Each structure stands twice: as C-alpha cells, then as structure tokens.
A and B are shown apart, each in its own frame.
Chain A
Amino acid sequence: MKVLFALFCLTYACQGMGLTADLATHAVRIDTDFTGEDMVVFGTLTKKGDIIIVVRGPEETLTIRKKESIHGLWLNHDALTVHEVPRYYAMACTKPLDSILSQEERTRHEIGLQNLHLTWSTPDAELQKTYTHALIHEKIKQNRYIPTCGLINFVSTNLFRITFQLPATVPTGAYTVQVFVVQEGQITDARTIPFIITKAGSSADLSEFATHNGFAYGLLSALCSLFLGLIISQFFIRFRV
C-alpha cells in the first residue's frame, strides 16, 4: 500500500513538472534615465505542446468619448465607461494562435485582444462591440497593446525564452505574466508569475511628494521656478548688458 501511494504521488508530481517558468526580474524600477526595459520570460517544457505567454498590466477604468459632427463642428458627444481594462497587454506564442487554440478556449482564458473580459456601462452589445474596437485601436496607437504575437524561441530541446520590450511610457503597477501550455487545442497547464513596475530613486520621491503634499510641492515648484528665472536673468543682466 505504501509503495502504491508513493508511486501515485510521484506520478502526480511529475505531471506538474511538465512546465516551469520564471522571469529574469520581478521588479522593474523606473529611474531618471529610464527609456524602456526588456522583460525576459524563460522556462522549460518537458512534454510535447505549444506555449502561449500573456503579459497583462494593472487594470483601469476608462471613459471613452466619441466625436460627432454637430453643425459642422467636431465635438465630443456620446460616452461610455468601461471597467477592468488592462493598461498593458502583450502576447507571445510558439505557433500562430488560431492554429493551436480554439476560439472557445481563447475566450475562456482571455487570450487575445478580442477576448478581453471588460465591464461596460451599457448592456447594448452592438455599442460594446464598436467601442471595444475603438478602445483596442487607441491602445495599440498608444503602444500599450501589442497586436502581434511574439515568437517564442526554444533555446534547446526543453528550454524556451522570449523577451518583451516594455516601452518607455509603460504604466506603473502590478503586472502578471501568464504562461499557458496548449496540447491538442486545450490549455493543459498554466503558471502565473507576478512582477511590479515602480518609480524609483528621485523620480519616485518627487512623484510621492507631488501626490501626497500637493500644496507644498506646488509652492516649492513655483518658488524654484521663480528663482531659476531670476538667477538666469541676473546672470545676463550683470555680465552682458
């Protein structure tokens, strides 16, 4: 009995060991010389299958406004509010998405820009579709959503790795990297690895100060601006005339 039990545990543990994954760094620090950062995801897959990786940023609530031509002028008219919008979204896969995963599975796991679970302020499905399309379009323009799936490289038989290039304007907050294993059109295994992007160093201090002590920050900024202008002008007036 004990032997059987041990064998059972071993097999169960081995199944879980099919996939391992991790990130090169779990904390991205934005300092004064930040111009973007590479996020490296790597791992091993010992069984046969494909991998899909999704990087998601923190969620936000947005108001989407639509312009309309009113008496010849283009003005904001209709608006909708949408919740649970990821601030960043990027994907990587070993093969094109639609060739390895069914639409049903993609919808279930929110894989792919068209399959995000968003909460809208209106029940109208047509409106939701139009606005979702506009939302994704704008986010792609802002470099926040990456429309193409990056290609995952298998460095050796079991070791894979992919680099996501986080842009300079990447939003701060708690991010997740989801690694999915796809076998025969189904998701059979997954890992979720968190990482965080924060402002660090003087950027962070200044940001903190500005947010929590708005008045003091404002007064100080105004005074510093005043003195800076004064000093520069005095330099010119006294030494050049």
Chain B
Amino acid sequence: MQIYLPIAGMPVDVLVLIILGLVTGSISGLFGVGGGFLLTPFLLFMGIPPAIAVGSQTAQLIGSSISGVMTYWKKRAVDIHMSLVLFAGSAVGTFIGLLFFSHLKKIGQIDFAIAASYILVLGSLSLIMLFESIQTLRREKSAIPYPLTKAPKWVRRLPFQVLFPHSSIRASVLMPLGIGFIAGFLVVIMGIGGGFVIVPALNYLLRMPPHFIPGTSLLQIVFATFLVTILQATLNHTVDFVLAFYLILGSAVGVQIGARYGYDLRGPLARLFLSLLVLSVSLRLVFELTHTPPSLYSLERKVDKS
C-alpha cells in the first residue's frame, strides 16, 4: 500500500516502512542504541532526500526509544538521574552541533563531515569495544564480577562526585555531562540517537551494571531526540511526520522484541555484536570515501519558501 509523504514529496510503500522499523527497532531494544545508523541508509536507498531522512529519523527515534525505556522501566533497570545529567550535556551539544551543521551545509561539506564523524568516532569506539569484549569473553571464568571492577583512575579522580542511587554508581557529574555533550553533537550531525557514544561510556568509564545500560541510554535518547525534532522542524522543515509515524509503528514493536532479549544478553556478547555491526558500516563508509563515486556531480536546491 503506497502513501504519499507530504514533506518528502514522494510515495512509499507503508509495509516496507513498518518492516524497516521492526528490524532497526529490534537492534535498538537489544543494545540501547537508536538504530538510526541502519535506518538512515535504508531511507536514502528508498530515495528519500537526505535532510528529510535525518529529520524524520529523529522523530522516529522518540517513539522507538520510549517503547524500549518502558520495558526496561518495568524491570526497574533505568537510572533516571543519569539520563537527566546526560541530557543536560546533550542539550548543549545539540546547540553547538546545529551551528556546525549550518556552517558545513553552507560550504557543501556536510556529507563528508557525517561520513568522517561516523568513521572516526564510531569506528574507533567499535574497534575498542570489539577487542575488549573478545578479551572479556575469553577471561569470563576468571574475570572479576561487577561491581568490583572499577572505573579508570582519571575518572575516579574527577570533582563533583555524586551517588546515582538507581544503579548504585558513585561518579562525577562531569563525566555524563561530557559524554552527553558529544552524544548531542552527533545527534544533530548524523541524525542518530547518540547511544553509540553513551553505551560504551556507561560501560567502560562509569562501570554501570550491564542491565541498566540500554534503558538509561534509551531514556537519554528520548530526551535528546525530542529536542532535536522540534529544532529540526522549526529551523529546517525537514521532519516528515507521516514517514516517522509508519516507522514508529514498526520500530516501537521491534524494540519490545529486542528489549526482551537485551535484558538477558550478557554484557560482553552484546558489545561484541554491536561493535561488529558498527565496524562493518564504518568500513563501508571508508570504501565509499576512497573509491571513485558513481556520480562526480551533485545538485543542491537553493531553497526558497514556496
């Protein structure tokens, strides 16, 4: 069944959107990441203009992430204080990101910036995560169980130490503020949820118990994408709600399926899968950047409000 997307200006098959949402939602629920890194390329492949794919994606992320939060919330596995501090950081990161984004668009380097951010930030993070998770799985028998493994020394030495009662971590607020800032920045530049930065950080730098990580990360994503959706709609008019609606129908359900298994998924195993997934996308991007593109020229409309 085809439906015409008013902002995107093209018809799409509703069923395709729902299935796409289901798949990416499952990954989201499993790991606590938004799933945007998979969804956005698919939307582009369907012919949806990039700016609208990114903008509508952030709206979709609200729906799918809140669905995941609810499941983890029911199991009391969401550290709301941590999520709020993370969001304080990401709100600032969002504004800085927006400034960067407009400048990059003006000089025509936004596509490269998105690919570079992906490769540098997510690529390196996933490499670290890959080695660490393999190592941990190998040492599983003799590894010291949580919460006795401590966060790195420099993290423990930071000022403004606070207790986060839900997940029983004592950590400096500067840490989640800083992580949130980077995440917020990436939400704007790449149209993702930011979970990729937050999940490893909660794990390695803050040593949060693994079953708390996806839910806490997803709650932060809800806050951040809510903010960015409003900003994108107000400043760039790139949010197609009809598109987001059908994607959410699939992803909110998919997240439920993913979250069911995510709670039981052992930390290192989840990180292993996640890192492989991100790594493969990063490699694909490197390939695209270094090989002759199919089309040397790109057309960009000078948008006038008509």
A64 touches B71 (CB 8 A): no
B299 touches A138 (CB 8 A): yes
A230 contacts partner chain B, Cβ-Cβ < 8 Å:
yes
Most chain-B CB neighbours within 10 Å: which of A34, A76, A203? Answer: A76
B99 contacts partner chain A, Cβ-Cβ < 8 Å:
no
A225 touches B293 (CB 8 A): no
B64 touches A229 (CB 8 A): yes
A225 touches B11 (CB 8 A): no
A67 touches B293 (CB 8 A): yes
A103 contacts partner chain B, Cβ-Cβ < 8 Å:
no
Contacts of A214 in B (CB 8 A): 233-235, 237
Interface residues on A, range: 35 or more
Task: Answer whether A210 and B237 are a contact pair too, CB < 8 Å, given A32-B3, A221-B244.
Answer: yes
Interface 9-mer from A4-12, A41-49, A165-173, A179-187 = A165-173
Q: Tell me, in angstroms, the Cα distance from A211 to B4 when the chains sit together.
A: 17
Most chain-B CB neighbours within 10 Å: which of A61, A64, A224, A228? Answer: A228
Q: Mark B241-263, 1 if CB is under 8 A from A, else 0.
A: 11011001100110110000000
- One of A34, A222, A232 near B67 (C-beta < 8 A): A232
CB nearest neighbor in B for A234: B70
Q: Tell me, in angstroms, the Cα distance from A217 to B56 when the chains sit together.
A: 12
A158 contacts partner chain B, Cβ-Cβ < 8 Å:
no
- One of A63, A217, A222 near B62 (C-beta < 8 A): A222
Interchain nearest-CB distance for A230 vs B (Å): 6
Interchain nearest-CB distance for A205 vs B (Å): 8
Q: Tell me, in angstroms, the Cα distance from A222 to B255 when the chains sit together.
A: 18
Q: Tell me, in angstroms, the Cα distance from A175 to B305 when the chains sit together.
A: 18
B299 touches A34 (CB 8 A): no
Task: Answer whether A207 and B108 are a contact pair too, CB < 8 Å, given A135-B299, A221-B244, A229-B63.
Answer: no
Q: Mark B60-75, 1 if CB is under 8 A from A, else 0.
A: 1011111110110010
B40 contacts partner chain A, Cβ-Cβ < 8 Å:
no
B67 touches A169 (CB 8 A): no
A13 contacts partner chain B, Cβ-Cβ < 8 Å:
no
B277 contacts partner chain A, Cβ-Cβ < 8 Å:
no
Contacts of A109 in B (CB 8 A): none
- One of B66, B108, B306 near A76 (C-beta < 8 A): B108
A210 touches B7 (CB 8 A): yes
B201 contacts partner chain A, Cβ-Cβ < 8 Å:
no
B233 touches A215 (CB 8 A): yes
A129 contacts partner chain B, Cβ-Cβ < 8 Å:
no
A76 touches B234 (CB 8 A): no
B59 touches A171 (CB 8 A): no
CB nearest neighbor in B for A211: B237
Task: Answer whether A236 and B256 are a contact pair too, CB < 8 Å, given A66-B297, A218-B234.
Answer: yes
Task: Answer whether A62 and B109 are a contact pair too, CB < 8 Å, given A228-B245, A229-B66, A233-B71.
Answer: no
Q: Tell me, in angstroms, the Cα distance from A79 to B293 when the chains sit together.
A: 17
B38 contacts partner chain A, Cβ-Cβ < 8 Å:
no
A224 touches B109 (CB 8 A): no
Contacts of B300 in A (CB 8 A): 62-65
Interchain nearest-CB distance for A120 vs B (Å): 14
Task: Answer whether A61 and B111 are a contact pair too, CB < 8 Å, given A228-B245, A232-B67, A233-B67.
Answer: no
CB nearest neighbor in A for B305: A211
Contacts of A55 in B (CB 8 A): none
Contacts of A221 in B (CB 8 A): 59, 229, 233, 239, 241, 244
B66 touches A230 (CB 8 A): yes
Q: Which residues of B are in contact with A by a Cβ distance under 8 Å?
A: 2-4, 6-7, 9-11, 47, 59-60, 62-68, 70-71, 74, 108-109, 111-112, 222, 226, 229-235, 237, 239, 241-242, 244-245, 248-249, 252-253, 255-256, 289-293, 295-302, 304-306
What are the nearest 7 A-B pairs in CB distance? Answer: A218-B233, A229-B63, A232-B252, A233-B67, A134-B297, A218-B230, A233-B70
27 residue pairs of the A-B complex, CB under 8 angstroms, read: A60-B302, A62-B299, A63-B108, A63-B299, A63-B300, A67-B293, A69-B292, A73-B290, A168-B11, A173-B306, A210-B239, A210-B241, A211-B237, A214-B235, A215-B234, A218-B233, A218-B239, A221-B241, A222-B229, A225-B60, A226-B222, A228-B249, A229-B66, A233-B67, A233-B255, A236-B253, A236-B256
